[in-house]
Amino acid sequence: KMKYIIGIGGVTNGGKTTLTNKLIKSLPNCCVVHQDDFFKKPDQIEVGDDGFRQWDVITALDMDAMTNTIKGWVENPAKFARTHGVTVSNTSHMSGGEEQVHILIVEGFLLYNYQPLTEYFSKCYFISIPYQECKSRRSTRNYTVPDPPGLFDGHVWPMYLKHRTEMEDSPLTIEYVDGLATKEEMYTQVYEDIQNTLLNRL
């Protein structure tokens, strides 16, 4: 069995979920873990020196639980797929042969800054969009917990820049994806890259 973990990281509102949903449909035996599912409850989110609840930092997330979920997939991808309603097929056009390919996409805004997770990624993608575009996209989204005034400039964007700098200093090889490209262009870039990587590994 070939097991392959793909990170789809990037800035808030960059198009991570849209890209992930397109990839899931076209990749064989593909499961997904969304980092947003691991946010702690609002009352567990501390208020920082900037005066805002610290949503955009690693401590806002239950990263142990997320890592354990990914470990569960690594231990038994077929079982993980079944429990998540993903149909497992034996052959894959990508592997060009008998070998069963299992793919896990891990999607989130803070994937490459948590040491216990970094060793799992076979491939890391990072979607970026410029400040102004990000701010305007974010302002049109409806969140369960609405952004308080000033959150974007006071917390979200500064944290993004801080984490991005940390990530760029890490030993991970990261492929950048332009979030201003069309959804189709982003998908094609990543899908073709994954295909090439899978074929080269056989």
**At which residue do the structure tokens 């948590």 appear?**
114
> Do 72 and 80 touch, CB atoms closer than 8 A?
yes
* Cα atoms in the Cβ-side hemisphere of radius 13 Å centred on 9: 26
Q: How far apart are CA 161 and CA 40, in angstroms?
A: 22
**At which residue do the structure tokens 């189709």 appear?**
184
Catalytic-residue membership of 36: yes
Give which of 154, 62, 77, 49 is closest to 117, Cα–Cα.
Answer: 62
Question: Tokens at residue 145, please?
Answer: 């917990």
3-state secondary structure of 108: strand
Selected catalytic residue, list 36, 56, 169, 178 = 36
Residues labelled as active-site residues = 36
